[in-house]
Amino acid sequence: MVDTRVTLSGLMLDNPVIPASGTFGFGYEFADIYDIDILGSISLKGTTKEPRFGNPTPRIAECREGLINSVGLQNPGVHAVISEELPKLAKCFHKKAIANVSGFSIDDYVYAAALLDKEDQIGLLEINISCPNVHHGGMAFGTDPQNAAAVTRAVKEVCQKPVYIKLTPNVTDIVAVAAACAEAGADGLSLINTLLGMRIDLKTRRPVIANTMGGFSGRAIQPVALRMVYQVYGLGLPIMGMGGVSTAEDVIEMMLAGATAVQVGAENLVIPTACKDIIENLPAVMARYGITRLADIIGGAHHG
């Protein structure tokens, strides 16, 4: 019998598999497909202070081993999330969820985070300073260590629950940004968000995405994500690793690099049962590699 449980800043998860924000809606949308209570947790759709329609269409472009999106944080705003979306989720998901918060100023982050922190359904907060799909926000904070630290410090001042900072890979030195967040009081880290990419339509000779560029995700980015998780593990903070994860083997590899929990993103858009399939396959893959307890392998690649 294998043990798939992990503990994330005091939050016990039945398994480390978490659908990534933006790829699983507010969770209840998938409840008709399978029992979402099997998930370790759910990172909810990115939430901002005010409602957002998002970016102009087209927003999605397919590419080899992945896709590019420029949705632009479309969401109903934090008040509607609390009054409408969380009650719907509570009917079909009976575990703590992860609130994903985005903003265009430090005040925006603080406002939404403080409200979501008070919700009993929320187990921890994931602060997205890494979105490449919006102007004057998101990645503007995540590419500069000082700005990243400022957001972290401000959110920590108004939150009682663990605060994880979601990092962008679109930087020269991921460790410098991660270290700044750690020093500012972050309880954990989430990485990586999407890389910046684009596609061009050969017929029109114009960018496929209306916003020209967008976030590149999917299986192709897994080696980059793995490398960055490995690099920041030494800071000593728990990590939610993500980027290109599509199999149970990928989950184990990400945990060996240093992740305590593993988020599955673009694969949910290709295969709606991706998380369910990974969770069901985990015990057999663990047995194949002689793993009896998943928590024991976290950061294993650092120890020889």
The catalytic residue among 63, 92, 131, 181 is 131
Residue 144 is given by DSSP the state: S
What dihedral angle (degrees, nearest 10) is formed by the CA atoms of 60, 61, 63, 68? -50
Backbone angles phi, psi at 123, to 5 degrees: -95, -35
88 Cβ contact list (under 8 Å, min separation 6): 26, 28
CA dist 222 and 253 (Å) reads 10
Strand partners, 69: 60, 215
Cβ-count burial of 196 within 10 angstroms (0-12 exposed, 13-18 middle, 19+ buried)?
Answer: middle
Indicate the pairing of strand 200-201 with strand 206-207: antiparallel
152 CB neighbour count, 10 Å cutoff: 25
CB 259 within 8 A of CB 239: yes
Instruction: Give catalytic status of residue 181 as yes or no.
Output: no
130 Cβ contact list (under 8 Å, min separation 6): 138, 139, 142, 166, 167, 168, 170, 191, 192, 193
241 Cβ contact list (under 8 Å, min separation 6): 191, 225, 226, 229, 254, 255, 257, 258, 259, 261, 262, 263
Check whether the bond before 58 is cis (ω within 30° of 0).
yes
Among all residues, which ones are annotated catalytic? 131
